[in-house]
Structure 1
């Protein structure tokens, strides 16, 4: 498996830094994981966005899905697509509200919202906790601790596993999600303070402690907010976890 970071800025894009978006590839299958603000441009710099084989969304906050409307424009209006998007509809795994939420973002006005149906170019599949197969990947989804319906994922292929926390506060589900994985892609949006709101995001301390408890092989830190010092988050995680830690960067590919 190969993980390419299309964007890793938490909660909002930062200077020259798109929001959350990742490309997971194996066996010539391209799985998009999130598509936040600015990530479609990064994807386009690496491959034709119409060549994606599937998309997965952990939740429907804009910093994780805002570029879906731009992808819809490409899929509906590209004059010479390599494959007709209406024949090869893109599978989209997302929380149950995704079809209506994405239609509302795409519709030109309220009057046309009722007539906006994106199923001509997408095959929407309701995401729920459990195990399913997406292309060559075995994907385990678990509900995590974030204000909207949100799922973390384990992706397994060829005897290797990468877990992705998505956005979450501390919860028991994270320990099951991360247990023994080769790579943990984890969010740490802020530094640790006792007055941080619970059930929203992880601090560097909390992410490092999770990696240590779960005995992960390598920790990749993502989703650091643009107003947070990433070096401080990295230092917190290193104090709690003595394995390999990487602060991910836009455009970098990491083998799993």
Structure 2
């Protein structure tokens, strides 16, 4: 599979990147390329259009209902509903926490009937119940964040590029659900919004680089890719904290970069990186 970073800034869009949004793509056995979005935080919709036609979105997967992870879905609703050329396709499948339809409809002051049902085909996550989307099997795991139903998402790919696994942490502090989600993942895309020493009193909200590294180590993940860094964080410090506890490769999510995730016989993924 391929992972393209649309936005990776934590908590709000930064000067160089939107908030959280990731494009995952993979070819199935029949040669069809599937394109799935993980979250659509503020600023993501504009940048996303540099990488694909909006008509090519096969599904959107939302980790939790904070604006920096889902608010640009309101803009996608407008793009689908009001395009004068017509949308010309089916409703976009959308998976998320319970209540996502009401949350998004309220952002536009829409009546809940029909709300956004004409543009999106809404589905609610059921913890640890897999969902099949083309060559991807997606499994949500409850994690720890101060909002109802925060999820980490595990994507197992089985297509012509060979099997591989990507786990996306969403927003979370250290917890058992996160480790289960990242078990043996080839790439663990994990938030590191806090720093050790600065944010020690803030628990149950976000990870530090060190706690992200501990989760990757405990899960047996093969590569750790840190993301969701606020503008006031030092990326170098986040990596250094993770290096103290995780011996595998560690990288930083970079806007507009594409990572090819392949599981080799050695057990290590190759992540070819390019803008």
TM-score category, normalised to shorter length: over 0.9
**Greater helix share, structure number:** 1
Match of 2:99 in 1: 97
Asked if 1:204 is matched to 2:206, the reply is no
Aligned-partner Cα distance in 1 for 2:20–2:169 = 12
Distance (Å, rounded) in 1 between the aligned partners of 2:134 and 2:112: 33
Q: CA RMSD, aligned part only?
A: 1.4
Equivalent position of 2:47 in the other structure:
42
Q: Which residue of 1 aligns with 2:273?
A: none
**1:185 equivalent in alignment to 2:184:** no
**Residues 102 and 112 in structure 2, CA contact (< 8 A), matched pair in contact too:** no
Question: Which residue in the other structure is 1:249 paired with?
Answer: 254
Whether the 8 Å CA contact 1:103–1:116 is kept in 2: the answer is no
Query: 226-235 or 187-196: which moved more?
Result: 187-196
> Structure 1: 5+ residue runs without aligned partners?
none
Q: 1:106, CA displacement in angstroms? A: 1.9
Give the Cα separation in 2 of the matches to 1:152 and 1:161.
Answer: 13
| 2:30 match | none
Structure-1-length-normalised TM-score: 0.93
Deviation at 1:113? 3.3
Do 2:216 and 2:224's aligned partners in 1 also have CA atoms closer than 8 Å? yes
Matches of residues 228-239 of structure 1 in structure 2 within 5 Å? 228-239=233-244
Task: Give the match for residue 172 of structure 1.
Answer: 176
Structure 1 segments (4+ residues) deviating >2 Å? 112-116, 193-196
Cα distance in structure 1, aligned partners of 2:123 and 2:112: 20
Secondary structure in 1 aligned to 2:76? helix
1: CA distance between counterparts of 2:171 and 2:39?
11
1:29, distance to aligned residue in structure 2 (A): 0.6
Aligned residue number for residue 231 of structure 2: 226
Distance in 1 separating the partners of 2:75 and 2:183: 36
SS in structure 1 opposite 2:130? strand
Q: 1:127 aligns with which of 125, 128, 131?
A: 125
Q: TM-score, normalised by structure 2?
A: 0.87
